Structure 1
């Protein structure tokens, strides 16, 4: 009697990318409401911006940056960092974002700060996981992309800290005068580190390796050295560009 052979495939993972799709639908819905019915949506400008930048874009970056880093750093599919931890981060991020939106809509200072802090903690976890993976695995020559993702995560953590100060300036009745006076500068710095730092560096690091793949051509060997050398300059540019 022949005993059938059971093949063990890759462990099944929760499709967290569907949560990003849900935020896309929410973004379309909030845009439609904001354009057609005025005064119904709480904090319409903030909601329209952050549903896209956090719900759609940040969720996507969390998903793809870990996917590419996992491949470039040769993490096996059975590694808990490849599956379980990444899934937990995505679930924690989306739960934190829902809490942030709810607190912002109701004007709760403490709740909004807690939501921003929770998102910052998830992103810090993401960055530290990348650092740990880069140190413990034998990577190939494209592994420098992880440095872009790590730097990007650091910028978003700073952006979450700035969001806490902005929340106090916007809602707290007893906000100090210096914080109220610096609100515009904090808003600009918040936007710069989030869009230029988090999104910009993540996209730049990815496109160096993904671009030639999409175009079905070989990558120029000099492009790798240029990308490695460009990272400090890009970081410095974002830091210098942020208002003091």
Structure 2
């Protein structure tokens, strides 16, 4: 089965490849800009109050959410084989509102003004709700398509975020005994819903395309089975942490892991046909491994905690493998593949950009994952500082060539 390919050819009605390339030149700045801010926060964190909260939200709300909104729209049009809109004004407005909201949320954490954050969360909610309406409209207008399940993943993921946003806004202004449960609910709904469901749906077609091989025959069936399994797992986790029934929450994490493994089986079959041999393919592979590690650590944290406050205090152990190991690596891997293709300019330029983003990839990947493995272990503070610097260096090794690729594409005819 041939996967849906992200190619240089523009969809019908997009105004040609230059129009699409111009759009991606503009919007690619958004996740890259938040990554630059994340580097800046890392460098000045000793003098920045609340830097952990700020760094986490820069990655999830700034980088990941922008990337998901941009690329889920792209893949929705691709898998439904629907023509691109004649105008990008609607998408541009949604991204503008989204980022005004993101800036408000981030600013509230820096200046300590909760109502700025609540207003920002409202804007983010409005942008994501508009994105959901757009997805539904695209799905209803499209003819039956083989990979519609990808869009169903996006709908479920978007619904999860719309549940998680108000809970996060509520925590900005209320601090009572319910806060640990709300924090656990907010974190799990956003991480397992918004991010993980989106990734699982996208990899159905993206993974064999990255490998430049055929999709396994069972991939579509696995995705259709995996989606309700993941939704059931997310529901169980949400109810379990809110009611503080740890066994139910852990059962939900087991269902989530099952959904991941259902997706991984056809992905492994594709990898046996064409061995991964690039930064995108190995970065995504490593990310999948860290996702399973994060789910295991999460289950242990919930089962061993005496109460919700204890689980919330220990949740940092889950965030490192989840945020850096899974979210960070899947984002960089996907962007390293998608950016060269989406910026247009013909096969030669795509190969040149891909080679630039792949440069020194074995060293970067090995350094990142070795540093992560050390960081998650109980190690002395100076060891953690060293590993943090290695992770920062690996991120810069992606950001510098990515910035060069983006600037060079703006100068191309």
Same fold judged by TM-score > 0.5?
yes
Q: 1:127 aligns with which of 129, 132, 145?
A: 132
Kindly report which structure 2 residues correspond to 1:61-100, keeping only aligned pairs within 5 A, or say none: 61-80=68-87, 83-100=88-105
Q: What's the CA shift for 1:74?
A: 2.3
Q: 2:221 aligns with which of 222, 225, 233?
A: 225
Find the counterpart in structure 2 of residue 140 from structure 1: 145
Q: Decide whether aligned partners of structure 1 residues 223 and 46 sit closer, same or farther in structure 2, where only a CA change above 3 A counts.
A: same
Gap regions ≥5 residues in structure 1 = 1-7, 171-179
The answer as to 2:220 corresponding to 1:213 is: no
Find the counterpart in structure 1 of residue 264 from structure 2: none
The answer as to 2:24 corresponding to 1:19 is: no
* Structure 1 counterpart SS, 2:148: coil
Find the counterpart in structure 1 of residue 64 from structure 2: 57
- Cα deviation, 1:194-227, whole Å, max 9, x if unaligned, reads 1110000000001111111112222122221221
Task: Give the Cα–Cα distance (whole angstroms) in 2 for the partners of residues 24 and 107 of structure 1.
Answer: 23
The answer as to 2:54 corresponding to 1:47 is: yes
If the length of structure 2 is used for normalisation, what is the TM-score? 0.51
Task: Give the Cα–Cα distance (whole angstroms) in 1 for the partners of residues 104 and 83 of structure 2.
Answer: 33
What is the Cα-based RMSD across aligned positions, in Å? 1.7
- Return the structure number with greater helix share: 2
- Cα deviation, 1:18-61, whole Å, max 9, x if unaligned, reads 12111110011001111xxx2x3242121011011111111111
Find the counterpart in structure 2 of residue 193 from structure 1: 189
Task: Give the Cα–Cα distance (whole angstroms) in 2 for the partners of residues 222 and 169 of structure 1.
Answer: 47
Find the counterpart in structure 2 of residue 110 from structure 1: 115
Range with greater deviation from structure 2 (200-209 or 131-140) = 131-140
Task: Please say if residues 80 and 148 of structure 2, whose CA atoms lie closer than 8 Å, have aligned partners that are also in contact.
Answer: yes
Q: What's the CA shift for 1:77?
A: 2.9
Task: Please say if residues 74 and 139 of structure 1, whose CA atoms lie closer than 8 Å, have aligned partners that are also in contact.
Answer: no
Q: Decide whether aligned partners of structure 1 residues 218 and 27 sit closer, same or farther in structure 2, where only a CA change above 3 A counts.
A: same
Find the counterpart in structure 2 of residue 163 from structure 1: 168
Find the counterpart in structure 2 of residue 176 from structure 1: none
The answer as to 2:185 corresponding to 1:184 is: no
If the length of structure 1 is used for normalisation, what is the TM-score? 0.85
Task: Give the Cα–Cα distance (whole angstroms) in 2 for the partners of residues 112 and 23 of structure 1.
Answer: 18
Q: What's the CA shift for 1:139?
A: 4.3
Task: Give the Cα–Cα distance (whole angstroms) in 2 for the partners of residues 149 and 61 of structure 1.
Answer: 9
Task: Please say if residues 72 and 139 of structure 1, whose CA atoms lie closer than 8 Å, have aligned partners that are also in contact.
Answer: no
Gap regions ≥5 residues in structure 2 = 1-14, 243-413
The answer as to 2:230 corresponding to 1:234 is: yes
Task: Give the Cα–Cα distance (whole angstroms) in 2 for the partners of residues 99 and 126 of structure 1.
Answer: 19
- Cα deviation, 1:76-105, whole Å, max 9, x if unaligned, reads 23444xx22122211211111112222232
Task: Give the Cα–Cα distance (whole angstroms) in 1 for the partners of residues 89 and 117 of structure 2.
Answer: 28
